[in-house]
Amino acid sequence: MKTILLFLSLAIILPLSALATCATTDTPTNQVWLGVLDTNGKPLNASNRYWIRPAYTTMDIGGVRLANLDDQQQTTTCPTSVVLSNLPKDDGIAVYFTPKNPNKYQLILASSPLNIHFYFDYPLCSNFAVWKVDNLVSKWPPILHTISTGAKLGNPNDFSSWFQIKPLGRNYKLVFCLESTTYCRDIGFVRQNGYRRLVLSEKPMPFVFKLDDRIGMASCYA
Ligand SMILES: *[C@@H]1O[C@H](CO)[C@@H](O)[C@H](O)[C@H]1NC(C)=O
């Protein structure tokens, strides 16, 4: 009798635990594997370029681009400060999203780490394409954690260069999370030198992603 009971309970427990194992294998980090959609409702694809645009168009803001802001210690003539365009019709400079952990469908998933890098159609500033967060070591509040370019693409050790896209209502926000910590901050902007400059912020900026389907051309920047 005891043997039968044992057998029965094993028969019930084993398939259940097998199921549980499968479930955890599919979602290793307990994340929701949510695709990010562009303004046409199509999934974001790592092999495509997108303009990052404000979700709500006002009279004086357009897409994300670069500017040369005075307070930066410029080691280059390339603009490195990530800002919003002051022209609503300007889509900005298109970017690629490159996931840290690519999948075979090249899908860009919400809440998973990725590099964001500008696409330039000439090589002059190609070392200043990959986004990073500045001043991360300094925790003192008055220091702005500005977003600039100059990181290396696909460098797992550069913790300042991994961003995430997260849903924000029907739109999206950009988020920066420090790996293996609970530190996560939204990306918003501050006004600086006539620009709205992207920074880590309490107030996330709602964005949408518009496919740049032009072939071999990028917008030039001022
Ligand atoms: C992404 O683009 C590549 C190359 O064009 C294509 O092979 C792949 O199917 C696309 N993935 C999705 C999810 O649309």
Predicted confidence (pLDDT) per residue in 135-163, tens digit? 888 666 668 899 999 999 999 999 999 99
Q: What is the pLDDT of residues 169-200, one digit of tens each?
A: 999 999 999 988 889 999 999 999 999 999 99
Residue 39 lies in a domain: no
Give the strand pairing for 114-118 and 95-99: antiparallel
Specify the pLDDT at position 77. Answer: 83
User: What number does the ligand 1 atom closest to the CA of 48 have?
Assistant: 2
Any ligand 1 atom below 6 A from CB of 25:
no
Backbone angles phi, psi at 116, to 5 degrees: -115, 125
Question: Within a domain: residue 124?
Answer: yes
| Shortest-distance Cα residue to atom 11 of ligand 1 | 105
User: For residue 149, is it within any domain?
Assistant: yes
Residue 190 lies inside a defined structural domain of this protein: yes
Q: Which atom of ligand 1 is nearest to the CA of 46?
A: 1
The rounded Å distance from CA 43 to ligand 1 centre is: 9
Domain that holds residue 134: 49-211
In a domain, 201, yes or no: yes
Q: Say how far apart CA 110 and CA 90 lie, in whole Å.
A: 26
Would the CB of 106 count as within 6 Å of ligand 1?
yes
Report whether residue 192 contacts ligand 1, using a CB cutoff of 6 Å. no
pLDDT (tens, 9 = 90+) of the chain, 222 residues, equals: 444 444 444 343 333 333 333 333 334 444 456 899 999 999 999 999 999 999 998 889 999 999 998 655 556 789 999 999 999 999 999 999 999 999 999 999 999 999 999 999 888 899 999 999 998 886 666 688 999 999 999 999 999 999 999 999 999 999 999 988 889 999 999 999 999 999 999 999 999 999 999 875 544 443
Q: How close is the Cα of 211 to the center of ligand 1, in Å? A: 13
Instruction: Decide: 108 and 114 in contact? Cβ < 8 Å.
Output: yes
Task: Find the helix or strand (DSSP H, E) in which 11 lies.
Answer: helix 2-26
The reply to whether 69 falls in a domain is: yes
**Integer angstrom CA distances of residue 58 from 39, 191, 220:** 17, 16, 22
Evaluate whether residue 21 is within a structural domain. Answer: no
User: Using a 6 Å cutoff on CB, does residue 45 contact ligand 1?
Assistant: yes
Number of folded domains in the chain?
Answer: 1
Nearest CA to ligand 1 atom 5: 47
| Domain contains 4 | no
pTM score > 0.85 for this model?
no
On whether the CB atoms of residues 201 and 155 are closer than 8 A, the answer is no
Q: Which two tokens stand for residue 45?
A: 């694809």
Find the CATH number of the domain harbouring 114: 2.80.10.50
Answer yes or no: is the C-beta of 37 below 6 A from any ligand 1 atom. Answer: no
